[in-house]
A = this chain, B = another copy of it.
């Protein structure tokens, strides 16, 4: 069961007190626990996770839309997936002390499920689903303001920019343009690739990386810098 000191911490650190404590309990209950206590009619967090997933998707989309006006739709979409689609939320679940509160079946406990990233992410989603039902979207946003949003601001999710796609979008605004990558050198142990980038058969840049994809990203990044200067 969700502990008193955890609830106290939620209140002090995040200003959250659940009106319906049953929702909070549900958000922390894994199906394995429900299966072990069939007589007690516990509910697992899966439906709250279904809702929380959409709650976080909108909260993050809205935040990105308002705070990164310079990004285009493709860049916003990629940043959103970096935040929402990965196991990134598990970090916040740990930071908020969620792991210790999860109601887990004995079998799952044994195999270390309590520290499994996917499970922690599920619980983080379920918690936000519960908070949304209990207190609405503003409460969720206030909570994210203290957890997820600062990490977005820090640029944590912007690094994995897809330069190849960005370059394509930049060049093909007015219609198709031929963009080609050619492998120049390929060495093994250690693996290293060198590629050249051609736009309409004219060499624009080169890139190196530990695999072909990484080398192409570097070449695209260099090309983007050139075009953006123009």
Question: A residues near B, CB below 8 A?
Answer: 31, 35, 46-47, 49-51, 53-55, 57-58, 60-62, 65, 72-73, 76-77, 80, 132, 137, 173-174
Contacts and interface: CB of A to CB of B under 8 A. Distances in A.
SS of A interface (majority):
helix
Number of copies: 2
Contacts of A174: 35
Given A50-B61, A137-B137, 13 more contacts: A31-B173, A46-B73, A49-B73, A50-B76, A50-B77, A51-B62, A53-B61, A54-B57, A54-B58, A54-B61, A54-B80, A55-B58, A55-B61
10 contacts: A31-B173, A35-B174, A46-B72, A47-B73, A47-B76, A50-B73, A50-B76, A54-B54, A55-B58, A62-B132
A62 B54 contact: yes
A49 B61 CA distance: 11
B35 A47 contact: no
Contacts of A137: 137
Among A61, A77, A174, residue most surrounded by chain B Cβ atoms (within 10 Å): A61
A68 to B, nearest CB: 10
A53 to B, nearest CB: 8
A42 B43 CA distance: 50
A51 B65 CA distance: 7
Contacts of A55: 58, 61
A73 B26 CA distance: 14
A24 to B, nearest CB: 17
Contact of A47 (B57, B58, B65): B65
